[in-house]
Amino acid sequence: MNFYRQNSDLELARLIAEDDPQAFGEIYQRYKGVLFLHAYRMLGDDDEAKDILQELFTVLWVNRKQIKLHTSFSSYLYKALRNRIFDAIAHKKVEQKYIESLAWFMEEGECVTDQQIREQELTQIIESEISLLPPRMREVFEMSRNTDLSYKQIAEELHISDKTVKKQVSSALHILKHKIDLVFIVVLISLKM
């Protein structure tokens, strides 16, 4: 092992590319401490720094034949480590945004969904109650709500007076209000039970 300690980083890189595990071990011993400290300072997490360092050296060994050094071996290692740290930080940010959006959906989305269901149920109740109105009253009421026609225009179309249209709409609203109020009371009582 003494032989490897005397070699330069470039000589060790050449030996690593030739599948020399002892040269790889020497590089690992030379840089693991300073690289770990650098990763820990940037990440603030001991386990995450260890994981990134292990991944860095694993990839270094797996890709040993493809590594082309354009600078010093230490510069290569620092740059590779920095890139992995940036990837980890970016991943954390994406993960945090996902968690926040999931938490929002769990809090707010459930309310939105419940509200939509209640609105649909209320719409069905109103439509059901409208269908129970006397036929002429229902026809006048639906025309007043579903068309842009005035009371006078509805009266002309149905060949009745506009006072009759107004009375029919008013009566329909009174009946619906009374029935829907009863539905709300029943719903509120059932929620409290």
Task: Write a three-state SS string for 7-67.
Answer: CCHHHHHHHHHCCCHHHHHHHHHHHHHHHHHHHHHHHCCHHHHHHHHHHHHHHHHHCCCCC
Instruction: Say if 47 falls within a structural domain.
Output: yes
Look at the block and give the residue holding tokens 């292990």: 54
Average pLDDT over residues 123-144: 84
Higher-confidence position of 151 and 188: 151
Q: How far apart are CA 33 and CA 40, in angstroms?
A: 11
Instruction: Say if 124 falls within a structural domain.
Output: no
The answer to whether residue 7 scores a pLDDT higher than 80 is: yes
Instruction: Say if 116 falls within a structural domain.
Output: no
Q: Are 92 and 24 contained in the same domain?
A: yes
How much is the pTM? Answer: 0.49
Confidence category of residue 140, pLDDT binned at 50, 70, 90: confident
Instruction: Say if 111 falls within a structural domain.
Output: no
Domain that holds residue 50: 2-97
Number of domains in the chain: 2
Per residue in 51-88, pLDDT (tens digit) is 999 999 999 899 888 888 777 888 889 898 998 988 88
Per residue in 10-49, pLDDT (tens digit) is 888 888 889 999 999 998 999 999 999 989 998 888 898 9
- Residue 112: the pLDDT is 57
- Residue 33: the pLDDT is 92
Boundary-marking domain end, from 70, 97, 124: 97
The answer to whether residue 5 scores a pLDDT higher than 90 is: no
What is the dihedral sign for C-alpha 67, 73, 75, 80? positive
Residue 90, Cβ density class (10 Å: 0-12 exposed, 13-18 middle, ≥19 buried): exposed
- Residue 34: the pLDDT is 92
Q: Please report, for the domain that includes residue 169, its CATH number.
A: 1.10.10
Boundary-marking domain end, from 97, 122, 141: 97
Confidence category of residue 186, pLDDT binned at 50, 70, 90: low
Q: Are 76 and 137 contained in the same domain?
A: no
Average pLDDT over residues 105-123: 67
Q: Are 157 and 87 contained in the same domain?
A: no
Of 32-41, 70-79, 158-167, 178-187, the one with minimum mean pLDDT is 178-187
Q: Please report, for the domain that includes residue 81, its CATH number.
A: 1.10.1740.10
Instruction: Say if 117 falls within a structural domain.
Output: no
Average pLDDT over residues 141-153: 85
